Structure 1
Amino acid sequence: MSAFPEFEVVPAVDVQDGQVVQLVGGERGTGKRYGDPVEAAQRWVDAGARTLHLVDLDGAFEGERANASAIERVVEAVGDGTGVQVGGGIRSSEDARSLLDSGVDRVILGTAAVEEPGIVAEISETYPESVLVSLDAKGGEVVVSGWTEGTGIDPAEAAVRYEELGAGGILFTDVDVEGQLEGVRTEPVRRIVEATSIPVVASGGVASVEDVRALADAGAAAVVVGTALYEGRFTLREAQETV
């Protein structure tokens, strides 16, 4: 099954210390808390979400899955009717496979894919189109380890490489505008869309329904929205209806 046959607005449920948190600019300790992950997830499903974006923030920073039980609870609660993509601290094909075996639709690989690109092909052999490679860019280069280390890699060039390895899509996060509610930049998204033929999921900076529309116009297959939805800047339905 191809990811995102039509454009989707995907609510983010980022988990830190068992609670939903939205970081500003990817900086640890800047987060505002939004309560229990299962309640948040249920709220977005009730509001019409077709897919949820779950991230273990502690896992992303520490390199091992720290909120696995909270994320399992969410996957169980939303059931089969809602797509679930999970990232944060997935560092091996075993980690990825255990999530996919447990009913997760897509795994998000960032640091692991950069450090060991072969892992993408390895997982894709058993689970085709199940890997979203997370390319987080700061100052025009891919960053890893919870956005703390630059790699010197160009995001569009990296996207082409991962497509060749069997990635089912690219999750592109513009870290420079992440969590700031100041709007999006469409140019970096457009560059990746033009370089590859797999779905590109855009993330970072969405503050208005106009931002959602701009990313859709830039060719994104889906947009992940966190802070703007939690802060009530617009509703999920308004975002879906704008495209």
Structure 2
Amino acid sequence: MKSVFRPCIDLHDGQVKQIVGGTLSADSTSLKTNFVASHPPQYYAELYKKHNLTGGHVIMLGRGNEEAAKLALAGWDHGLQIGGGINDQNASTWLDAGASKIIVTSYLFPDGAFSLDRLQNLSSLVGKDRLVVDVSCRRVRQSWFVAMDKWQRITEMEITKESLHLLSQYCSEFLIHAADVEGLCQGIDEKLVQKLGEWVTIPTTYAGGARDLETVDRLSNGKVDLTYGSSLDIFGGTLVKFDDLVTYNASVLAQEV
């Protein structure tokens, strides 16, 4: 087992952007943006489809991104996951719109408290195999706690082996943004990646500060995949080349066949 690259399309105000995750807020007055795409969302979806980069996700960062998200999903029908404001009322609609899976966070934490009932109900509604739980987090001293509402609100759920085991009974994947390093291009949260490698038992994708896929592979023993954002050349970055990741993923796939 080896870690692989998983692509993303982050949407803000209807555009593909790369944002410093910790600066997202309700009023956007402190928002720091690293990149705004000149291409429409479907351009990236079609690019990922062309190179068979499976397991990618579209994230709607706030309101006003629904039409852009639909364009992205249309670019690769049932090839991308969708997250951002997903709940029991709209989950099936997004699957019907072409999402391969739905990604959920805030809906599971009414008033910041985890609701097992909501997770069970959503899992029953869409099916465990089409549900991804986003356990994006922020550091609290030496621990990590799930963060919601654009990663600004800390929930009561600590990320541990036990909590991940509980969640994994009702979903097929985890997505985890390390919000404290998201968009900074200064390196991953190595301790978190190492712990995820020890704890997770289902496919897991990490995002936040990524510059080096090999480090994630080593620290997680190949159990955690990686999303690149601001460091990637297709998003204006200079540290990582998209073509190199395509080659890497193809080589891993060839070895597994």
Q: TM-score range by the shorter chain?
A: 0.7 to 0.9
Q: Identify unmatched segments of 5+ residues in structure 2.
A: 25-30, 253-257
Mark the structure with the bigger radius of gyration: 2
Offset of 1:197 from its aligned partner?
Answer: 1.3
The two structures have a TM-score, normalised by structure 2, of 0.79
Offset of 1:94 from its aligned partner?
Answer: 2.3
Decide which of 211, 225, 229 is 1:226's aligned counterpart: 229
Q: Is the 8 A contact 2:15 2:37 kept in 1?
A: yes
Distance in 2 (alpha carbons) for counterparts of 1:48 and 1:127: 24
Identity %: 22
Which residue of structure 1 aligns with residue 175 of structure 2? 171
Distance in 1 (alpha carbons) for counterparts of 2:51 and 2:130: 25
Which residue of structure 1 aligns with residue 72 of structure 2? 74
Stretch moving more, 147-156 or 38-47: 38-47
Are 2:183 and 1:182 equivalent residues in the alignment?
Answer: no
Q: Where in structure 1 do 4 or more consecutive aligned residues deviate above 3 Å? A: 5-8, 43-48
Distance in 2 (alpha carbons) for counterparts of 1:6 and 1:85: 21
Query: Superposition pairs for residues 208-227 of structure 1, below 5 Å?
Result: 211-217=212-218, 218=220, 219-227=222-230
SS in 2 for 1:10: coil
Decide which of 19, 22, 32 is 1:23's aligned counterpart: 19
Offset of 1:26 from its aligned partner?
Answer: 3.0
Offset of 1:93 from its aligned partner?
Answer: 1.4
SS in 2 for 1:9: coil
Aligned in 2, Cα 1:26/1:38: closer, same or farther, shift over 3 Å? farther
Cα RMSD (Å):
2.2
Which residue of structure 2 aligns with residue 124 of structure 1? 123
Are 2:197 and 1:193 equivalent residues in the alignment?
Answer: yes
Distance in 2 (alpha carbons) for counterparts of 1:97 and 1:111: 17
SS in 2 for 1:198: coil
Which residue of structure 2 aligns with residue 98 of structure 1? 93
Stretch moving more, 152-161 or 43-52: 43-52
Which residue of structure 2 aligns with residue 134 of structure 1? 134
Equivalent position amino acid for 1:75 in 2: L
The two structures have a TM-score, normalised by structure 1, of 0.83
